A = this chain, B = another copy of it.
Amino acid sequence: MKCSKCGGTAVINMRQHRLRLCGRHFLEWFTAMTQRTIEKYKMFIPEDKVLVAVSGGKDSLALWDVLLQLGYQAEGMYIGLGIDEEIGYSNKSLEMCNKFVEEHHPDALLHVVDVGAEYGQSIPQLARTTQRGRGRPCAVCGLVKRHIMNSVARDGGFTAIATGHNLDDEVAVLMQNTLRWQSGYLARQAPVLEERDGLARKAKPFVRIYEREAAAFVLLRGIDYIYDECPFARGSTTNYYKELLNQLELNSPGTKQQFYLQFLRARDSGQVTFARPRESELHPCVRCGQPTTAGELCAFCRLWE
Contact = CB atoms under 8 A, between A and B. Distances in A.
Nearest to A270: B275
B183 A266 contact: yes
| Chain A interface size, under 10 / 10 to 19 / 20 to 34 / 35 or more | 20 to 34
Interface stretch (A34-42, A77-85, A124-132, A173-181): A173-181
Interface stretch (A55-63, A115-123, A244-252): A244-252
Interface SS of chain A: helix
Contacts of A274: 271-272
Interface string A248-267: 10010001001100110110
Contact of A272 (B255, B270, B275): B275
Task: State how many copies of this chain the complex holds.
Answer: 2
Interface in A270-289: 270-275
A248 B258 contact: no
Contacts of A240: 251
Contacts of A272: 181, 183, 186, 272-275
A273 B270 CA distance: 9
A300 B181 CA distance: 37
Contacts of A183: 266, 271-272
Contact of A180 (B179, B186, B258): B258
Contact of A248 (B244, B270, B273, B275): B244
A180 B244 contact: no
Contact of A263 (B181, B248, B258, B259): B181
A185 B74 CA distance: 44
Contacts of A271: 181, 183, 274-275
B247 A181 contact: no
A247 B178 CA distance: 17
A96 to B, nearest CB: 33
A262 B180 contact: yes
A240 B247 CA distance: 11
Contacts of A247: 244
A81 B191 CA distance: 50
Contacts of A186: 272
Nearest to A277: B271
Contacts of A273: 272-273
Given A178-B178, A180-B258, 4 more contacts: A180-B262, A240-B251, A244-B244, A273-B273
Interface of A: 178-181, 183, 186, 240, 244, 247-248, 251, 255, 258-259, 262-263, 265-266, 270-275
Nearest 4 A/B pairs, CB to CB = A183-B271, A181-B266, A273-B273, A181-B262
